[in-house]
């Protein structure tokens, strides 16, 4: 989670919402890492999770990330949860819960839906204090 927090801090430094994500392979090697880049890339899909998943898929030359784990600083939204499912991520670890935009433990609870083809093991609250502080500080500075 420390690497994901580093990516979130870098995103904040670019003026992006501070969310970071890291994909680890079965051996623990970093396959992909990213922070949000929606503003920079002018792309609403440039969430940290999607960018990290894309990089990991390119690293493995595969559209599947079987036996890989994703660490992200904020509970994924529905778009990212779908990508996590399609990529066949083994385990999802996330920091801060997102009651407004989250789709794992909040909102649509994507992985609990009958239409979800693959649900990873989910572990929330990992690094939650640091992830929450990053978000609160970022938005407090914006007000």
Per the residue annotation, which of 7, 49, 55, 75 is the catalytic one?
Answer: 49
> In terms of DSSP bridges, do strands 69-74 and 20-24 run parallel, antiparallel, or are they unpaired?
antiparallel
Say if CB 82 and CB 112 are below 8 A apart: no
Strand, coil or helix: what is 35?
A: strand
Residue for token digits 């929330």?
124
At a CB cut-off of 8 Å and minimum separation 6, what does 105 contact? Answer: 75, 97, 122, 124
Residue 49 bears catalytic tag: yes
Residue 87, both tokens:
């990529």
Secondary structure letter of residue 21 according to DSSP: E
Kindly list the catalytic residues. 49
């Amino acid at each position: 989670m420390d690497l994901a927090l580093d990516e979130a801090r870098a995103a904040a430094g670019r003026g992006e919402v501070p969310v970071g994500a890291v994909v680890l392979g079965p051996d623990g090697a970093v396959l992909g890492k990213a922070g949000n880049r929606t503003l920079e890339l002018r792309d609403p899909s440039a969430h940290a999770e999607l960018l990290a998943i894309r990089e990991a898929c390119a690293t493995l030359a595969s559209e599947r990330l079987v036996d890989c784990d994703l660490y992200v600083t904020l509970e994924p939204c529905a778009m990212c949860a779908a990508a996590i499912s399609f990529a066949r991520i083994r385990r999802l670890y996330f920091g801060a819960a997102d009651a407004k935009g989250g789709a794992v433990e909040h909102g649509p609870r994507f992985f609990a839906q009958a239409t979800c083809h693959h649900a990873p093991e989910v572990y929330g609250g990992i690094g939650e204090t640091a992830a929450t502080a990053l978000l609160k500080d970022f938005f407090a500075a914006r007000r």
